[in-house]
Chains A and B, each alone.
Chain A
């Protein structure tokens, strides 16, 4: 009896050691360094809050993350809602259009957007050749380009989350509402929307948290001009070697993400949606 449980526990040891030694320990070291580099105390945090450049980076990050989250969740809801109402054939095609960007490398997607949006890119050349504009528009390496790229990156995640959530809703409730004389708009606002709130909350949480710490798309589509936290941290460790700034900013980011996730998990509906993710 005991033997079986001991063996089972032993099986969990290797992965646990990897997680503790190669994940928890290095991250704890980041937290520790933020308090000790160069000398012990909260001095790094004081200078962090006094630093105007950091303030600007934080504001940019918040602005881009909020815009990305609102646009992504809204657009993804429209798509997911349409997909669950399609016939099986169309649904398969739509899911294919979602899954290709979902699986393809984030780098390929960022590269596509640069090709389309840059000054001599596909969009500007087309618009100039057709005479719509006479000088190229600045569409990338700014807030606009970063937000487009981020929304494009986050949408497949959000659509799949919302699609799973919406498919789980009992359709007989809508039939009941219809048979009682509710119009389509009423059914949407009074039945669909309230029932899909946990899914919307979960998608919002994921997209916002991913956006806050996202490096690749903001770095490539912002090219240093629209600077977000992750890229700012990366500059601190790779070019200026400011470990004090890098570690204290990382700690703040971790703290914010931790608080958001912790607060969200206190809501029973969200916890249920998170734990029992339905399988397709």
Chain B
């Protein structure tokens, strides 16, 4: 390589790999800390230990109940948000006009409006309706925050759908609900599945608003992690972080494998 080319091409590329390292490597630090043999946050000193992973499975330590709480809330949230999201996206796509466009902006706004503002509003509203620290209260808030994701995912699927399919079905005399259920819905299954998955993940991870509308009764996993980070002592925190990291990596690898298989099938 000529010196000029090294500066113009090689240096930026090296910098890019350093930055990719900056993104990825720091997360890995939770793995050695989870394996520490001490009972405070530290690197392993006289050998490794699985005791902190065992603590996660201990019901009385609270991690397991929180995982189940979060999973339950996320499932309920995904189910409700998907049904509402499909109905809205399909209806808006078929009807058009100012009302659906206006509602779409409102439904998508939680993506850009800072969640802290929403939290302030919900604390007031749930206090009045006595829904603070209740499962119903948390699930409803998570649904509102998940709806933008389901609406966008299903909307993306719909934009690839040919309007003429609907016209054909209607001209053959299909009733409206038949068109929605038997013509449109089967064609947007991938978008619906993606929307449901996104809704589940967003609820599973939600912390900002949950922090203000829950107390002692409903302790989701992010909430327990939040408290634990502020104490900054228990290595079980590193163990749960490791578990979440492994789940994320496995999910991404699984997705890559599925995509690769689909690509091979095409050729």
The proximity string for A residues 86-101 relative to B, scoring 1 for CB distances below 8 Å and 0 otherwise, is 0000001010111111
> What CA separation (Å) do A96 and B255 show in the bound complex?
11
> What CA separation (Å) do A216 and B23 show in the bound complex?
18
* Tally of chain A residues near chain B (CB < 8 A): 85
Which of chain A's residues has its CB closest to B249's CB? Answer: A100
**B43 and A30 contact, CB distance less than 8 A:** no
**B30 and A247 contact, CB distance less than 8 A:** no
Which of B47-55, B61-69, B104-112 lies at the interface?
B104-112
Say whether A3 faces chain B, with CB atoms less than 8 Å apart: yes
SS of A interface (majority): helix
**A5 and B95 contact, CB distance less than 8 A:** yes
Other-chain contact of B229, A4, A83, A220, A238 (Cβ < 8 Å): A220
Interface residues on B, range: 35 or more
Say whether A135 faces chain B, with CB atoms less than 8 Å apart: no
Which of chain A's residues has its CB closest to B87's CB? Answer: A11
**Min CB distance, A1 to chain B, in Å?**
8
Say whether B79 faces chain A, with CB atoms less than 8 Å apart: no
**B120 and A233 contact, CB distance less than 8 A:** yes
**A79 and B19 contact, CB distance less than 8 A:** yes
> What CA separation (Å) do A81 and B17 show in the bound complex?
11
**A94 and B114 contact, CB distance less than 8 A:** no
Q: Which residues of A contact B71 (CB under 8 A)?
A: none
Which of A39-47, A50-58, A105-113 lies at the interface?
A105-113
Q: Could you jot down 5 A-B contacts, CB within 8 Å?
A: A19-B147, A82-B13, A82-B17, A96-B256, A234-B211
Which chain B residues have a beta carbon within 8 Å of chain A's beta carbons? 5, 8-9, 12-13, 15-17, 19-24, 26-27, 29-30, 33, 41-43, 84-85, 87-88, 90-92, 94-95, 97, 99-100, 103, 106-107, 109-110, 112-125, 140-141, 143-144, 147, 151, 156, 170, 176-177, 179-180, 201, 205, 207-208, 211-212, 222, 225-226, 229-230, 232, 237-238, 241, 244-245, 248-249, 251-252, 256
Q: Closest 6 CB pairs between A and B?
A: A213-B114, A11-B91, A26-B121, A82-B16, A15-B88, A8-B95
Interface contacts beyond A8-B95, A212-B114: sample of 12 additional A-B pairs, CB < 8 Å, sorted by A: A15-B87, A15-B107, A19-B147, A26-B121, A26-B122, A78-B15, A97-B24, A99-B252, A103-B201, A107-B222, A185-B8, A257-B114
